[in-house]
Structure 1
């Protein structure tokens, strides 16, 4: 997909490919949720699935679909096996729950200038201008609410 974006000017083709990738990602998500299985990010396919869902969540957030963005960030928090990413997804979700728009999140919370290109999670916003532990602690009521909402995924 990244290569297609670099070499293609055909927006319809890009949208078609992105739609296909997103459909595959959500099919995999539904399959794993039904099996109560999380994403193993050491497996490339599962990492790319999480990335596609994350990119869609960011798109929802940037288009002010706060409910859709929050739910996707929460599901990613639930599904991923990497604590650093779990915490980052909860920070994203809490920001949405606080009513922060995407521009506020990017300008005040996320640190987009700091990332490690060698990190397989570099496509996710993992670095913050705020202290992550303090932010989650100060917003513990929202964290608890988000975690309570995720309990439905544990029920069979």
Structure 2
């Protein structure tokens, strides 16, 4: 069995097991091995599993545990999906996803960070402006999180203004 067939078999096994974490482990090899169409399908499978896990989590009325590997991978996939929407200018969809994600996890830092994302998208701040004016991208890179987790002082003003508007 050649490398491509072996990788496809591993991906199929992970998909059949709804093992989103294993798919992320295989991600770099998929990038190095698959053509663009196959790679697109690979990411669609991750998203399908993540959306299924989201539905199951909501139906079970539970929160995801950032320390549990499948929940962590699911949150990552859903965050990446929300960022895709944000990047594509689908601000309403991105805002809704960020809102759901902010309440979906037991990790306070993740939930707090997602509130900034949610409000920025809701306030129709573009992703470029969010990254340049609200997020602290350098600090986030140093933090080693899969999500934008560090923000500058303008972020707190955004949050404060949002609370004022809601009152």
Quick check: TM above 0.5? yes
In the other structure, the counterpart of 1:79 is: 104
RCO higher in structure (CA 8 A, sep ≥6)? 1
CA distance in 2, matches of 1:93, 1:46: 20
Q: 1:38, 1:80 within 8 Å by CA — same for their partners in 2?
A: yes
| TM-aligned CA distance change 1:133 to 1:106, over 3 Å | closer
In the other structure, the counterpart of 2:163 is: 140
Q: 2:134, 2:154 within 8 Å by CA — same for their partners in 1?
A: no
CA distance in 2, matches of 1:26, 1:141: 33
| TM-aligned CA distance change 1:133 to 1:117, over 3 Å | closer
Q: 2:134, 2:155 within 8 Å by CA — same for their partners in 1?
A: no
In the other structure, the counterpart of 1:37 is: 62
Q: Alpha-carbon deviation of 1:132? A: 4.7
For residue 102 of structure 1, the aligned residue among 127, 130, 142 is: 127
Higher helix share: 2
Structure 2 unpaired stretches of 5+: 1-23
Normalised by the length of structure 1, the TM-score is 0.82
Structure 1 unpaired stretches of 5+: 146-156
Q: 1:112, 1:125 within 8 Å by CA — same for their partners in 2?
A: yes
The count of corresponding residues between Structure 1 and Structure 2 is 142
CA distance in 1, matches of 2:63, 2:92: 22
CA distance in 1, matches of 2:46, 2:39: 11
In the other structure, the counterpart of 2:86 is: 61
2:137 is equivalent to residue 128 of structure 1:
no
| TM-aligned CA distance change 1:118 to 1:45, over 3 Å | farther
Q: Alpha-carbon deviation of 1:4? A: 3.5
- The two structures, once aligned, show a CA RMSD in angstroms of 2.1
SS at match of 1:16: helix
In the other structure, the counterpart of 2:48 is: 23
SS at match of 2:47: helix
